[in-house]
């Protein structure tokens, strides 16, 4: 091992090739290429095989990173894939879109002076190679069980739970109000970060493994929660968060002021080949327009970069804090800058201008004041610092809140927090309704795909325990 590993002293960190900014701004393909076999082996061999691997400690899935790096360095890729897949339903997706700089790679101990191991790119390489070689198998159980589980929501949390329950032998049905599987992985995240085939091929595998999908089926409308509870031995609510936060300034309801997810969903649908009237009519198409995006998170970065690809005349991002305080991934900010997006840091909108349709944004400069109770510096407007930016499309990317779930499901007994997220017992992952569990963004608030997978995996373990315990109690009662 010693010879093959610990190569960080000899080999420099290399990321997979990144396409030129001009080339990538003119298509919708992913920005980063896949490693070549020798690159993946070399980069994996930089790992020093830590006794306490901080990369794994800071991976929400506790991935066994040192083991799959070693196997990759040795060219044992099928085994590397098996290790990666043991803890992760979507290693190829996390390899592409996890903010590795804040998670595994950001905590790699060889960071200082030598730069971390490129863990995400290797994870993607292993799993893409597994797909090419037919090593990725449908989730089929060794033994079927008669009990069934219902899962509401086909995003990463719901799908991770579905996979785990199916592998335990349960009859699994996933319900989703959309017409495609994947949640925000299909309709939120743009294809230049995550190509859609990567999500669609997983859907096909799940179906091949016997997971049933009922799409275009909004729970609370088509089927009630009560009916679903009667149908299944356990239920999981994994419905995500979708209510866009608004900004109450004059002109907020002018035509041309739109919500980020509406804009991104339309663009993703268009890319998937759907006929989307909002795109055809031009209402949600940035081509030839001056676009201003309000916000500084990953959703805002996805909007600015989508607008670039749609052929916008200009794209400006308005964020009320500075670059160092942006919530989004620095990698995505850098990509946006390279693609020609202009950033107005420390600036917030005061009004959207126009008569009927938006024509501009009046903004004010901000400065960072004293920290609040959470330690985050407060932003305060600077008087007489107003300025105007031309805009005929304004996209609001200010974050998301949960919909009113007790009302949606007509189930007042479902407790929610003051932010509207579902309350669960964090040990059992069960809501106040016996046999009804919850996972993902609807519990955490807007988060990450990798946390959705983690929650789905944990919820599956708890649903399994619940069904087993109930079976045992019934058996005792029958004696």
Chain residues in the site for ligand FAD (CB under 6 A): 97-98, 152-158, 175-178, 183-185, 188-189, 193, 218-220, 238-240, 261, 264, 298-299, 302, 408, 440-441, 447-450, 452
Nearest one of 305, 217, 292, 211 to 254, comparing CA atoms:
292
Q: Does 123 bind ligand SF4 (CB under 6 A)?
A: yes
Query: At CA 202, angle to CA 200 and CA 204, rounded to 5?
Result: 75
Given 61, 80, 160, 442, the residue binding ligand SF4 (CB under 6 A) = 61
**Smallest distance, ligand FAD to C-beta of residue 212, A:** 14
**Smallest distance, ligand SF4 to C-beta of residue 120, A:** 4
Determine the Cα–Cα distance for residues 52 and 264; give it in Å rounded to an integer: 41
**Smallest distance, ligand FAD to C-beta of residue 253, A:** 22
Q: Does 308 bind ligand SF4 (CB under 6 A)?
A: no
- Is the CB of residue 416 less than 8 Å from the CB of residue 445? no
Taking CB within 5 to 8 Å according to partner kind, which of ligand SF4, ligand FAD, none is near residue 50? ligand SF4
Determine the Cα–Cα distance for residues 463 and 351; give it in Å rounded to an integer: 49
**Smallest distance, ligand SF4 to C-beta of residue 450, A:** 5
Residue with tokens 């040990």: 427
The three-class DSSP label of residue 403 is: coil
- Is the CB of residue 33 less than 8 Å from the CB of residue 62? no
Nearer to ligand FAD, 105 or 302 (CB): 302
Q: Does 291 bind ligand SF4 (CB under 6 A)?
A: no
**Smallest distance, ligand SF4 to C-beta of residue 306, A:** 23
Determine the Cα–Cα distance for residues 262 and 187; give it in Å rounded to an integer: 9
Nearer to ligand SF4, 47 or 264 (CB): 47
Interaction residues for ligand SF4, span 414-473 (CB under 6 A)? 450
Taking residue 43's Cβ as centre, other Cβ atoms within 10 Å add up to 27
Q: What radius of gyration, in Å, describes the C-alpha atoms of the chain? A: 24
Determine the Cα–Cα distance for residues 222 and 356; give it in Å rounded to an integer: 37
Determine the Cα–Cα distance for residues 80 and 71; give it in Å rounded to an integer: 5
Q: Does 185 bind ligand SF4 (CB under 6 A)?
A: no
Nearest one of 326, 336, 396 to 361, comparing CA atoms:
396
Taking CB within 5 to 8 Å according to partner kind, which of ligand FAD, ligand SF4, none is near residue 153? ligand FAD
Residue count of the chain: 479
**Smallest distance, ligand FAD to C-beta of residue 356, A:** 28
Tokens of 103: 């998670």
**Smallest distance, ligand SF4 to C-beta of residue 4, A:** 13
- Is the CB of residue 307 less than 8 Å from the CB of residue 290? no
H or E element at residue 175: strand 171-175
Given 30, 32, 66, 239, the residue binding ligand SF4 (CB under 6 A) = 66
Query: At CA 137, angle to CA 136 and CA 142, rounded to 5?
Result: 145
**Smallest distance, ligand SF4 to C-beta of residue 156, A:** 11
Tokens of 188: 């939120």
Nearest one of 468, 478, 433, 464 to 149, comparing CA atoms:
464
For the CA atoms of 426, 431, 433, 435, the dihedral, rounded to the nearest 10 degrees, stands at -70
Taking CB within 5 to 8 Å according to partner kind, which of ligand FAD, ligand SF4, none is near residue 441? ligand FAD
Taking CB within 5 to 8 Å according to partner kind, which of ligand FAD, ligand SF4, none is near residue 184? ligand FAD
Given 40, 65, 80, 363, the residue binding ligand SF4 (CB under 6 A) = 65
Given 15, 33, 49, 314, the residue binding ligand SF4 (CB under 6 A) = 49
**Smallest distance, ligand SF4 to C-beta of residue 182, A:** 17
**Smallest distance, ligand SF4 to C-beta of residue 448, A:** 8
Q: Does 59 bind ligand SF4 (CB under 6 A)?
A: yes
Nearer to ligand FAD, 148 or 224 (CB): 224
Q: Does 121 bind ligand SF4 (CB under 6 A)?
A: no
Q: Dihedral sign, CA of 65, 68, 71, 73?
A: negative
Given 40, 77, 80, 94, the residue binding ligand SF4 (CB under 6 A) = 94
User: With 0-12 CB in 10 A as exposed, 13-18 as middle and 19+ as buried, what is 134?
Assistant: exposed
**Smallest distance, ligand FAD to C-beta of residue 327, A:** 12
Residue 109: CA count within 13 A, CB half-sphere: 13
Cβ within 8 Å of residue 417, ≥6 positions away = 423
Nearer to ligand FAD, 12 or 404 (CB): 404
Under DSSP, the state recorded for 438 is E
Tokens of 53: 């691997």
Taking CB within 5 to 8 Å according to partner kind, which of ligand SF4, ligand FAD, none is near residue 47? ligand SF4
Taking CB within 5 to 8 Å according to partner kind, which of ligand FAD, ligand SF4, none is near residue 123? ligand SF4
Given 71, 104, 241, 284, the residue binding ligand SF4 (CB under 6 A) = 104
Residue ranges in contact with ligand SF4 by CB under 6 A: 47-50, 53-55, 59, 61, 63, 65-66, 88, 94-95, 98, 100, 103-104, 108-110, 117, 119-120, 123, 450
């Amino acid at each position: 091992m010693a010879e093959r590993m610990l190569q960080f002293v000899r080999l420099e960190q290399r990321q997979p090739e990144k396409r030129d900014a001009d080339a990538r701004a003119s298509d919708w393909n992913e920005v980063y290429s896949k490693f070549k076999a020798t690159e993946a082996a070399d980069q994996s061999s930089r790992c020093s095989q830590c006794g306490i691997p901080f990369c794994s400690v800071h991976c929400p899935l506790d991935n066994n990173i040192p083991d799959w790096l070693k196997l990759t360095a040795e060219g044992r890729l099928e085994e590397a894939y098996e290790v990666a897949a043991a803890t992760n339903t979507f290693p190829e997706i996390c390899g592409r879109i996890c903010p590795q700089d804040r998670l595994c790679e950001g905590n790699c101990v060889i960071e200082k002076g030598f730069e971390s191991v490129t863990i995400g790119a290797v994870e993607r390489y292993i799993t893409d190679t597994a797909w090419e070689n037919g090593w990725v198998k449908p989730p089929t159980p060794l033994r079927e069980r008669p009990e069934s589980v219902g899962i509401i929501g086909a995003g990463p949390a719901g799908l991770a739970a579905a996979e785990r329950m199916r592998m335990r032998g349960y009859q699994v049905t996933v319900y989703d109000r959309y017409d495609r599987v994947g949640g925000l992985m299909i309709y939120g995240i743009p294809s230049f970060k995550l190509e859609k085939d990567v999500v669609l091929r997983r859907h096909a595998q799940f179906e091949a493994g016997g997971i049933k999908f009922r799409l275009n089926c909004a729970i609370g409308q088509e089927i009630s929660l009560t009916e679903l509870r009667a149908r299944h031995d356990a239920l999981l609510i994994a419905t995500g968060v979708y209510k866009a936060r608004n900004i109450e300034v004059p002109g907020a309801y002018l035509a041309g002021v739109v919500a980020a997810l509406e804009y991104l969903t339309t663009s993703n649908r268009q890319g998937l080949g759907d006929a989307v009237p909002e795109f055809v009519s031009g209402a949600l198409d940035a081509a030839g327009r001056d676009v201003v995006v309000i916000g500084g998170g990953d959703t805002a970065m996805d909007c600015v970069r989508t607008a670039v690809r749609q052929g916008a005349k200009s794209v400006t991002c308005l964020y009320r804090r500075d670059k160092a305080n942006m919530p989004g991934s620095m990698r995505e900010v850098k990509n946006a800058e390279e693609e020609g997006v202009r950033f107005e840091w420390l600036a917030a909108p005061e009004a959207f201008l126009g008569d009927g349709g938006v024509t501009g944004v009046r903004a004010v400069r901000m400065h960072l004041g004293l920290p609040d109770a959470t330690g985050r510096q407060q932003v305060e407007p600077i008087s007489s610092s107003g300025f105007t930016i031309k805009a005929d499309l304004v996209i609001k990317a200010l974050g998301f809140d949960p919909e009113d779930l007790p009302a949606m499901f007509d189930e007042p007994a479902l407790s929610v927090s003051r932010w509207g997220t579902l309350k669960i017992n964090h040990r059992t992952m069960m809501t106040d309704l016996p046999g009804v569990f919850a996972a993902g963004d609807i519990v955490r608030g807007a988060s990450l795909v990798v946390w959705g997978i983690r929650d789905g995996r944990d919820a599956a373990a708890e649903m399994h325990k619940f069904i087993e315990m109930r079976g045992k109690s019934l058996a005792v009662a029958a004696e």
